[in-house]
Structure 1
Amino acid sequence: MSQVNILCIKWGKKYGPDYVNKLYNMVSRNLTLPFRFICLTDDAEGIDASKVEVKDIPKVGFADFDNREPWSFGHGWLKVTSFADPLYDLTGPTLFIDLDVVIVGNIDCFFEPEGEFRVIKEWDKKDETGNTSVYRFNIGAHADLIENLKNNKDKVLASVRNEQEYVTSYLNKQGKLQYWPAGWCVSFKRHCMPKGIMSFFKPATIPEGAKIVAFHGKPNPPDAILGVSGKWYRRVLPVQWVADLWR
Structure 2
Amino acid sequence: MQTIACMKWGTRYPADYVNRLWSMIKRNTVRPTRLVCFTEDATGIDPAVAVFPLPPINIPERVAWRPWRKISLWQAPLADLEGDVLFVDLDVVITGPLDDFFDYAPGQFCIAENWTQLGQGIGNTSVYRWTVGTNTHIFDDFDRDPDAKVNKHIISQRYVSAAAQGMTYWPAEWCVSFKHTLLPRWPLNFFKDVPLPPATRIVAFTGKPDPDEAVIGEWPVTAWWKKAYKHVRPTKWIDENWR
TM norm structure 1: 0.90
* 1:132-151 alignment, distance < 5 Å: 132-151=125-144
Indicate the residue corresponding to 1:243 in structure 2: 239
User: Per-residue deviation at 1:74?
Assistant: 4.3
2:28 paired with 1:35: no
Indicate the residue corresponding to 1:55 in structure 2: 52
Q: RMSD across aligned C-alpha pairs, in angstroms?
A: 1.4
SS at match of 2:86: strand
SS at match of 2:200: coil
**Do the aligned partners of residues 57 and 138 (structure 1) sit closer, same or farther apart at CA in structure 2, a change above 3 Å counting?**
same
* 1:88-103 alignment, distance < 5 Å: 88-103=79-94
Kindly indicate whether the alpha-carbon contact (under 8 Å) linking 1:191 and 1:207 is maintained by their aligned counterparts in 2: no
- Whole-Å separation in 1 of the counterparts to 2:71 and 2:63: 10
Match of 2:101 among 107, 110, 118: 110
What per-residue deviation string (whole Å, max 9, x for no partner) do you get for residues 143-199 of structure 1?
22111112233332221011111111101xx3x111111111001012221222222
**Do the aligned partners of residues 197 and 72 (structure 1) sit closer, same or farther apart at CA in structure 2, a change above 3 Å counting?**
closer
- Whole-Å separation in 2 of the counterparts to 1:243 and 1:208: 16
Match of 1:154 among 134, 147, 154: 147
Kindly indicate whether the alpha-carbon contact (under 8 Å) linking 2:219 and 2:230 is maintained by their aligned counterparts in 1: yes
- Whole-Å separation in 2 of the counterparts to 1:237 and 1:177: 35
Q: What amino acid sits opposite 1:127 in the alignment? A: Q
- Whole-Å separation in 2 of the counterparts to 1:152 and 1:177: 23
SS at match of 1:89: coil
Match of 2:197 among 196, 207, 221: 207
Indicate the residue corresponding to 1:120 in structure 2: 112
Structure 2 portions without partners, runs of 5+: 222-226
Judge which range, 25-34 or 149-158, deviates more.
149-158
Structure 1 portions without partners, runs of 5+: none
SS at match of 2:215: helix
- Whole-Å separation in 1 of the counterparts to 2:181 and 2:150: 30
Indicate the residue corresponding to 2:224 in structure 1: none
User: Per-residue deviation at 1:108?
Assistant: 1.2
Indicate the residue corresponding to 1:223 in structure 2: 213
* 1:57-96 alignment, distance < 5 Å: 57-59=54-56, 62=57, 64-65=58-59, 69-96=60-87
SS at match of 2:77: coil
- Whole-Å separation in 2 of the counterparts to 1:88 and 1:235: 41
User: Per-residue deviation at 1:124?
Assistant: 1.2
